[in-house]
Each structure stands twice: as C-alpha cells, then as structure tokens.
Structure 1
C-alpha cells in the first residue's frame, strides 16, 4: 500500500478508535459488550501487526536522524508512552518474524495476536540455526495457536512438546547445546599471563574462545604482513658471486647490518611469530595514540578525589583522619579508611564543595585546563548525568550544553558528563539539558508528549516538565 493511502487509513482508524473509546459503555447490554470486545481485540491485533511492520521498516533507517530520533526503538517507545524497552521489543519482533513468514502472515491476517506471534518467535530463536527445523517448529506452534486457541503462556508451555515431536532423539538440540557448552567453558577459562624470565624477556601464555581468537587474528594479521624494502635499505650489502671476501685494502666486500638474519635484499627477515608479536605491540601503540575510547579517564593519571565542604576543609579534617566517604573515578565506593590508605601512594585532589554540593574549586595537578575541568565534572556529576543512567566516568564524555561551534564556552557551567550512548542521543533527539544557575546541577527536559486532540487525527505536542538527573 502506498504511503499516502496508509496515512489516510491510519488517520481514519484513529478517528474511529477515539469515537469507540468515548462509547457510553453503561448503555450497552452484556451480549453487545462481549461482541464489541471481540471486535476491538481483533482490531488491536491488526494494529499491533501494523506496528511490527513499521518497526521493521524504520529499523536502521537514517531518515530517523532528520526527525531528531537516534533509533526506531526510541521513537516507538516515546510514541507509545510505555516502559523503556517497549520500542525495542517491537523492533526485535520484526526481526525475528522476518525469518518466519508463515507466522508473520498469520499475524497480519488476524489469525493470531502479537503476544502469540512473539511467544512463537522468541522460543524458536532459542533453537539451533537450522532454518528448516525452525520453520517446522514455528509451524507446529502456529497450528496450536490457531486450532486450539492457545494463548502466549500456553504456547510457551507446549514448545518443548512440539520440539520433541520433530526431533525425538534430540539430535539437533543436543548437538547445539554441546557446542554452546564447550564455548562457554572456553570463555570461563580465558586468561592471559605475562611471566618475566629474569633475562630481559617475558613469556606470554593465554587461552580463550575461537570467537575471540578470530577477532584478534583479524586485527593482527594485516599488521603482521611482511614489510619489504629496497635492497640495501637496511644498510648492509652482500658479497657478489665471484667477488673476493676482501678488497685490496683488506676491507670486507660484505657490509653487515644490525638485523639478525637479514639478507640485505629487501625481504622481511622476521619469521611469522616475530611479525605477529610486533603486530600486537603495534596494535597496542596505535590504540594508545588514537582517539579511541580507552579507560584512562580522559588522559588523567589514576587518582583519588576527596570531596569535602569548605568548613571541614578549614578544620583540616583530612589531616586529622576524618575524611568523608569517597568515590573513585571508576565508580567504586570507598570508606574514609580506604581513602586514607589509598592516599599513601595516590595523588590527592581536594574538591571543595559548597552547601548545595556545587563545585567551588578543584585543585590542579597539571597546567592543562581540560584535565581540571574533567576532574570537576567527576566531582559534580559522579557518573553519566542523563536521568537514570549511572555509567562510570571512564565511559563518559564532556558534552557542551551550548555547543562550542555556537559560541558555548568550555567551562564547568556549560558542560555535562554523558556516556557515549546518551551523548549521541542528546545530539540526535529533542532531549534538552541546562545547568541550574543556583545549584550548578544538570536539569533535563524530555521531548514533548504527543496527545490526540480531535476526531480528525490532529496531534498536538505538549511540553514536558523539566526534571533533574
């Protein structure tokens, strides 16, 4: 159906649904109410099928970014006004039902409801990845739903029965379970050890899953390719065939270089193992020198931040051993005793707080302003400042409330700590944040809620109330 027709149909459905919702139910007889309930349930099932289709269409569509939404699940959760994850559930259902065309068709025809379809798809997703077997199991559960009218709970309970009928010896299921068990065992046994040999070297031993090994090899092998050069680029030369070992002045006709095993012919003298080791070192150096996300707390050294109010600072309670409960930049909660123990070897930064926990001054250990500001953000926000998120600082960025490109200053009253996910979210959705001038704390304003205000499908957006993180 073309999009204009779909929009017209959806608008008409909204108008009729609103008229239905305003029905004076007390005026209906019991028999009429039962008939209406049956029709409404059927209509809801078809509307759910349409939502699944919409979720599948919007998932991964870059056009969403133009409307201010980062993903289809965020948009659908917002529009439906449900619990977090509701939109994601529709997206997952669309993905799983795409591989079960018979179940998807039954949902769109109104023969089953979305809860029934999801019960089938979710259980089938746990089976071995054998398409024919999965389709057979889905078909068996679909027959139970349509012929016996089983609800989602009963369908899940009968799942094992359907599987046993189609795989009586459990050959497919057990083979997959054994493979999963072996992979899980390898994952639990993973390790990497470095043992110094006392002679300037180190022995490396490790164990892990095949999956992890493939990731490592895919990264290292391109870096471990032989590095060729022009002959003689190493600084050494070979004695030519028939040429004497020494010239008339007694000087060797062969010039050595400092690389053992080098043939001075431009070929890489390293064997495969040496190249792979060098590739590992190279990969670590590239990562350390890149802008990728490393748990280094934005370039700062490991340190302890002790929060203390002005009055306590004047009374020198730290020197008296009365430090307040502290928190490390990684989010670990520490007692005052633990703070004092760590202070023996760690760098102490006194973060002075006012009466409303607003950061008044942060001691600096470097000349760079960015380090001091990041320390101030840790002291103020503690973790990602988005409502309900507690991701630790090492997984966060400093976000400009007023973008730097728009003239916003790089100062504490224009910065907020956000994890990678919510940093992307605020750039691509209608969420807004500002710093309260009185408390110095971030205050968030969610996107406006859409509310239907007329029988013609007109939608009005009502602003949401700001809320603190």
Structure 2
C-alpha cells in the first residue's frame, strides 16, 4: 500500500508539458484503468470491513458512517460503495472486469443501484439465473456506452417483475435533499401516482392563491415559492410533531453586535441546519421572531442550573447546540436534532446541569459513552473521543 502511494506521488511530480497528444491520451487511458482497479479494491475492502463489523472499533455502527466521518467521503459516494460491495459477489464476471480496470465504478453503480440483495433474493425465489445477466452486463460494460448498460439492467428488472410495480406504493417513494456550501439545497423526489397527485394538489392550490398582478415569475419559481409557503404555514400552525422537546422552528444564531450593526455582514449568522446567512438577512428574519438571549461567556449564569435540575432546560440545550452544532463523537457529526445533551460528569455522580458539563451526542453515541467510550473537551475547545481501552479515535487517512 505504501509503495502504491509512493508511486502515485511520483506520477504527480512528472512534467506533462512535453507529452505528445498520443502520449497524453495513452496516459489518460492507463490512469482511468488504474483508477478503476483502485476503486474495485476499495469496494472489496470496504465490504470486508462491513462484514467483520470493523467500524465498531471506533464506536460506529456502519462502514458508511465511518467513511463519511473518518475519511470525509460524501454520503452519496459512501452509499454507492456499500451498494457495490453487497452486489458484486453475485456477479463475478462484472467484479473481475472491475478489478481488471475494464469496468468503472459508475458502471458498477448502475447495476448495484438496481440490483441489491432484495432483488437477488427475489430472482432466486423465481428461479431466475444471474449468470446470463452477469455475462451480458460484463460485456456491455466493457464494449458499449454507459447508457447501454442502463438499458441492459432494465431487462433484469423486467424479468424480475413482468407485471409492474408492487401494490404497495410506499416502497418506491424517496426524497433526496442535497445541501450546498452556501446553505442552499437542491432536491429530487420519486413518488407514485397517488402521492404525486396529493403533492401537486397542495402546491397548485398555493400557486393559484398567490397570483399577484404583474407576476413575472416562471412556473418553476411559482411552484418553489408555493412549497416554501406550505412549509411556512405548517410551522406557524404549531401542529407539527415536537422535536427534542420544542416545536419545530427556524433557528438563527447571531452575535448581538451584528444584530445591532446595520452592515450587511456576509455569512455572519448561522441557521439550525448549518446554513450561513448574512447579518442583514438575519435581521430581516428577526422582525417576525422570538429573540432568545444565549450567553456563551464564563459569566453566563442563566446557562448554569447547578444541581437543582437534572433534565436539561430548553435555554441550556440551545446554548449547547450553538456551541457544538452536532454530535461531538469523533467521526459522527449527526445533526443536533438527532442528539441528546449528555452530562460529562453524570448528574447522579455529582455533575451539574451546565454548559461546561454538557456535550451533544446522538442516541447511539450517547449509549456508547455510557458503555466505556468517553468524550472530553480540551482547553482549546476541541472535542476528543477515547475508546474503552483509553486510546484516542483520530480522524483522517493513515499515509505514513
């Protein structure tokens, strides 16, 4: 492994300006093949780590969580790795082509996204042989376009379910929301016909109720505004389920001096789901909001409830969320709305209900900390996590 890293380092230092067009293309083709081989080996290793429950060493329940938290792999890419690892053993020819560098990780994902353990079990129950599909897909992946493989995979889905979708429509429903660096989001949903009708009826009612004279918005802009208005109406109704002891609401954290200062202040305020907005936008929201004072300094007596309270009051939870943002267990980062406020020194052992004695932990890691693991906030404000044997869980690749 170290020799491989050293070789890649040597390649990155090679001068490319002297290459002919033919040499540039040959080099590119070889690197694509090498990248495929590395991706195949990564997939195989991740699958092995998953089946041996290796992430438990670092207090995590899945390799997906470990890849996201410890190696900073995107959640989407981690899911693809997991899917591929579970599917490839059933398709040895595709796996061999992947390992030889002839098939790409994206092609493998086309197969794995459509054919997982559930579909493989269904095929076995119906007496459908996988070998023929394995041979066909390996050949198409090596010789044809990416879209051709998608068509070939659809043939398996048709053979598996010639009569159409299952009567239960909820199995096919999905909603994906992707957050970007500036806090904006893009999304995609997949809904059955009846669910689509419900959503379209709700959005259309709002669109038709808001058609001011001179409206120059496009249709897609009107629909987006309608969706936001539906969310506004639901949040204002107070009828949504309670979330961690409080009604769901929009949270904006802003320093007092920025609230008063008339300057715009780009990326000055932070929101509950992690987005950064300007001070001007925060002041706009504050016009129709409840303002809560959260004192983070050492003299913040309202945040210190001493021994009188074992249950964490809402103002203290807001302060802990403002400081920690998410689960502080190494490699986790679960959002604060999944998390509990943990007493570092347990209340029953004399620990106070205070900001200093609190840490934000998701349910799984709250349990882990009560069974041998520990989290400690060092003098510099950085959270550190320790295994039951006292060794620290460190984040990042081991390159030396």
Q: TM-score range by the shorter chain?
A: 0.5 to 0.7
1:358 to partner: Cα distance: 8.5
Answer whether contact 2:133 2:156 (CA < 8 A) is retained. yes
Residues 405, 72 of structure 1: CA spacing in aligned structure 2 closer, same or farther, 3 A cutoff? farther
1:90-105 correspondence runs (5 A): 90-105=81-96
Residues 179, 22 of structure 1: CA spacing in aligned structure 2 closer, same or farther, 3 A cutoff? same
Aligned counterpart in structure 1 of residue 161 of structure 2, from 167, 170, 173:
173
Q: Structure 1, unaligned stretches of length 5 or more?
A: 1-9, 186-294, 303-310, 312-326, 328-333, 340-349, 453-458, 460-469
Secondary structure at the counterpart of residue 301 of structure 2: strand
1:130 aligns with 2:123: yes
TM-score scaled by structure 1?
Answer: 0.46
1:379 to partner: Cα distance: 3.5
> C-alpha separation between the residues in 2 aligned to 1:94 and 1:429?
31
Q: Structure 2, unaligned stretches of length 5 or more?
A: 174-241, 248-255, 257-271, 273-284, 328-332, 385-392
Pick 1 or 2: higher relative contact order, CA cutoff 8 A, min separation 6: 2
Secondary structure at the counterpart of residue 26 of structure 1: coil
1:361 aligns with 2:282: no
> C-alpha separation between the residues in 2 aligned to 1:184 and 1:16?
45
Answer whether contact 2:342 2:358 (CA < 8 A) is retained. yes
1:370 to partner: Cα distance: 0.5
> C-alpha separation between the residues in 1 aligned to 2:352 and 2:371?
21
1:175 to partner: Cα distance: 3.7
Answer whether contact 1:60 1:71 (CA < 8 A) is retained. no
> C-alpha separation between the residues in 1 aligned to 2:300 and 2:162?
59
Aligned counterpart in structure 2 of residue 46 of structure 1, from 37, 42, 55:
37
> C-alpha separation between the residues in 1 aligned to 2:325 and 2:397?
25
1:386 aligns with 2:326: yes
Answer whether contact 2:114 2:153 (CA < 8 A) is retained. yes
> C-alpha separation between the residues in 1 aligned to 2:98 and 2:371?
33
Q: Give the aligned partner of residue 449 of structure 1.
A: 396
1:415 aligns with 2:358: yes
Residues 367-386 of structure 1: CA distance to partner in whole angstroms, max 9, x if unpaired? 95212x34443242359831
> C-alpha separation between the residues in 2 aligned to 1:432 and 1:40?
42
1:122 to partner: Cα distance: 1.4
Residues 173-214 of structure 1: CA distance to partner in whole angstroms, max 9, x if unpaired? 2446143349889xxxxxxxxxxxxxxxxxxxxxxxxxxxxx
Secondary structure at the counterpart of residue 75 of structure 2: coil
Residues 251-303 of structure 1: CA distance to partner in whole angstroms, max 9, x if unpaired? xxxxxxxxxxxxxxxxxxxxxxxxxxxxxxxxxxxxxxxxxxxx8968xx99x
TM-score scaled by structure 2?
Answer: 0.53
Aligned counterpart in structure 2 of residue 143 of structure 1, from 139, 145, 158:
139
Larger gyration radius, structure 1 or structure 2: 1
> C-alpha separation between the residues in 2 aligned to 1:112 and 1:156?
14
> C-alpha separation between the residues in 1 aligned to 2:378 and 2:314?
17
1:20 aligns with 2:15: no
Secondary structure at the counterpart of residue 416 of structure 1: strand
Q: Give the aligned partner of residue 76 of structure 1.
A: 67
Q: Give the aligned partner of residue 100 of structure 2.
A: 109
Residues 26, 109 of structure 1: CA spacing in aligned structure 2 closer, same or farther, 3 A cutoff? same
Secondary structure at the counterpart of residue 397 of structure 1: strand
1:304-383 correspondence runs (5 A): 353-354=294-295, 360-361=301-302, 369-371=309-311, 373-381=312-320
Residues 53, 178 of structure 1: CA spacing in aligned structure 2 closer, same or farther, 3 A cutoff? closer
> C-alpha separation between the residues in 1 aligned to 2:129 and 2:336?
38
Aligned counterpart in structure 1 of residue 340 of structure 2, from 397, 400, 413:
397
1:213-362 correspondence runs (5 A): 353-354=294-295, 360-361=301-302
> C-alpha separation between the residues in 1 aligned to 2:366 and 2:66?
17
Number of equivalent positions: 280
Answer whether contact 1:400 1:410 (CA < 8 A) is retained. yes
Secondary structure at the counterpart of residue 310 of structure 2: helix
More helix by share: 2
Answer whether contact 1:359 1:376 (CA < 8 A) is retained. no
> C-alpha separation between the residues in 2 aligned to 1:406 and 1:39?
62
Aligned CA RMSD, in angstroms, stands at 5.0
> C-alpha separation between the residues in 1 aligned to 2:72 and 2:167?
41
Answer whether contact 2:320 2:341 (CA < 8 A) is retained. no
Residues 351, 34 of structure 1: CA spacing in aligned structure 2 closer, same or farther, 3 A cutoff? closer
Secondary structure at the counterpart of residue 361 of structure 1: helix
Q: Give the aligned partner of residue 227 of structure 1.
A: none
Answer whether contact 1:404 1:410 (CA < 8 A) is retained. yes
> C-alpha separation between the residues in 2 aligned to 1:182 and 1:76?
29
